[in-house]
Amino acid sequence: MSCGARMRIFISHSTAKDDPGGQRRLDAIDAALQGVAPAPALVLHEVLLDKRRLEPGFEWRAELDEWMALCHAAVLLLTPKALQSPWVLKEATILAHRAALDKQFLLFPVLLDGLTRDQLKASIFSPLYLDAIQRVAGTQPDQIAAAVHTQLAKFGKPPDTRLDLLVNALAAQLKAAAEDDGLEEISLKLTSNPLQLDSATTRARRAARVVALAVVTGKLGKYQSLRDVINDLLNAGLSKEAAERVLNLTGPRWVDPEAAAALAEVAARNAAGQVDEQGRAISWSTAINGDLLPTFTALQYVQRAYVPDAMEFISLDGGEGDLRFEELVQRLRNEIRRKRRWLGISDAKVDGLVANLNIPFFVLLPPPFPDPELLDALQRRYPKLTFIGEESAEHVANRKFPGRVVALVPALDSNAEDDAFLEITAATQRIDAV
């Protein structure tokens, strides 16, 4: 990484520019988090703060998404005002997603300006379960910094982030083309900056990093589409199999990270096996709109949430207006048998194996979205599965589900869905032509 051995700490906040007191507090937290090394004027940690780091003209939304993928820890400054901020909610959702997937990622919610835990639980932030994360008890800059530094010091050296893992996965695919100078041309088109490459190993990793950043930021430089990137990689010597893997890793970049993050956070909550006061399993489901859910979009959202990690996904067919519980359960068992190659085993055995799953498992339900009673029955039968239904956030809210349906927001734009489908189809066709 460009920052050597320094840890990267992201600060999420809603401090207004015309709030001098808030700005002074933010500056003090920023300075305290940077820390000072034994040698004078050396900074221990790199703090990613929008007011100091974002340059005029930058695509700042994409830049913040990249920071949240790169950081090793994040401080979430929560105030009564922040609870009204859609942007802070977006950042909190993405950061909670990282915390759900990566036990080495440290998230530190800080309650400021008199904000209470009960207020946090009653807010639109409630689905993130931030109140369940170990909060920083102190509210002074030095107390916040001390809590963060103490936990970071336990690592010794910066751990790999999820972006690092994606880089490594892409490098494994790109190394087949590492001897070809075409990789340097691809990197130049993506970044407009020549790369200083000393060896085949460096070349593969640097090129992989450029592609990985395109996944996070959605910036493809001079390329018009993923199809063009794949085309140049194939011309540079990449094998057909490796190109398919690269497309699987990079294709879902069009999905909004906030919407995808909710999927992983809900699945992690289901995997934890929470129970209610009567000892019954508690499970959550998700809702998403879209025109291409069964054939394209739902899987793209799940892949965006987990890339490059493993997960499982099945789509149940059908479309009846009155789906009975028994019918859905039997369809689900049959699909799981096929997916897991459990052909021939009994229904009871399938249910028992599903109850002990150790990998995120998503099930796209056929429309229409189940009524609350049917969904509750499915959730109780299979609490470790994360069901995805076709429904808008507005309709979920209006139907007053009992607090266990998380809508994926922002809502899917049908034009973006169509464009992504055409782009990935074109890239797939280019690979198939090899």
Q: Give the pLDDT confidence of 83-112 residue by residue, as tens digits.
A: 988 888 888 988 988 888 888 899 999 999
In 285-390, where do the E strands start and end? 285-288, 312-315, 361-364, 386-390
CA 2 to CA 131: how far, in whole Å? Answer: 34
In the predicted model, what is the mean pLDDT of residues 165-186? 74
Query: Which of these, 176, 175, 174, 194, lies nearest to 184 by C-alpha position?
Result: 194
Average pLDDT, the chain: 84
pLDDT value of residue 3: 40
The pLDDT confidence band at residue 179, using thresholds 50, 70 and 90, is low
pLDDT tens per residue across span 403-432: 689 999 889 999 999 999 999 999 999 999
Pick the range with the lowest mean pLDDT from 116-125, 170-179, 310-319, 412-421: 170-179
**pLDDT for residue 133 is more than 80:** no
Q: What's residue 123's pLDDT?
A: 87
Helix (H) or strand (E) holding 7: strand 7-12
Q: What integer pLDDT is reported at residue 78 of this predicted model?
A: 93
Q: Given a cut of 60, is residue 59 above it in pLDDT?
A: no
CA dihedral 21, 27, 32, 38 (to 10 degrees): -140
Question: Considering only CA atoms, which of 158, 142, 76 is closest in space to residue 109?
Answer: 76
Give the helix/strand (H/E) hosting 76. strand 73-78
Give 82's DSSP letter.
Answer: G
Which amino acid is located at 172 in the chain? A
- The per-residue pLDDT for 153 is 87
Q: How confident is the model at residue 362 (pLDDT cuts 50, 70, 90)?
A: very high
Percent of the chain with pLDDT over 90: 35
pLDDT at 55: 45
